Amino acid sequence: MLVQVYAVRTIQDMQLCIDAGLDRWGLEVGKHGVMPNETSFEQARAIFAATPPSFAKMALSIETDLEALTEIVEETRPDILHLCGDIRKLPPMGVEELRQRIPGVEIVQAIPMTGPEALDIAQAYEPVADIFLLDSVAPNVVGIGIAGVTHDWALSRRIVEQTRRPCILAGGLSPENVAEAIRAVRPWGVDSNTHTCVPGTWKKDFERMRRFVQAAQSAAAAAQE
């Protein structure tokens, strides 16, 4: 069971993630100030430079413009690029073109879990994505994710069962509900942003991250018994 979080903004945040036992952590990289934890290219380069070689460097972006996405990769050199922008503006053929521009970089495609149409969306992106991230959508948030609320886990389970791609479950996951989510969905991995921060802030909370990891690992182990 892969366990990851987002909202890392500093090298100190990254060290908290390592100490909490996380497998991955991501940076919200951009230069428009529209994401709550947006890091600049300079900040991202510094954090990635300090990342131990055994951990993947992961960047998240709500961009849908191919030039902007290519610039993020060229400027920060992540191992993984998480696409969570408006899928209407970056259809599968656009992601395929992006792959040609950034060879060697894994692509995580966010799937908006807004209803049964998510099944068709996942099927359409399966040929061009390496990993799916099944995430909630909020009307007041740009892009897919950072909604802080759960969605229909039964729908997520159907995508897990139908796709050949590894699926990371996201959307409102916390130390309190991640075990239940794993039992319901049986994903390849789980992701948390909002609920592993200090309540009311976007600062990562070591104790909540540690508990999130512990609950996820325990649930995954129990599922294999």
Lowest mean pLDDT among 28-37, 52-61, 214-223: 28-37
Q: What are phi and psi of 156, to 5 degrees?
A: -60, -40
Q: How far apart are CA 64 and CA 185, in angstroms?
A: 29
Question: How many other CB atoms are there within 10 angstroms of residue 77's CB atom?
Answer: 14
Query: pTM of the predicted model, to two decimals?
Result: 0.96
Q: What is the mean pLDDT of residues 135-139?
A: 91
CB 37 within 8 A of CB 5: no
CA–CA distance, 83 with 143 (Å, rounded to integer): 9
Per-residue pLDDT for 33 more than 80? no
Helix 206-224, helix 178-185: angle, nearest 10: 30
pLDDT reading at 34 higher than 70 = no
Q: So what's the pLDDT on residue 200?
A: 85
Domains of the chain: 2-224 (3.20.20.70)
The predicted-structure confidence for 138-183, as pLDDT tens digits, reads as follows 887 778 998 889 999 999 999 999 999 999 999 999 999 999 999 9
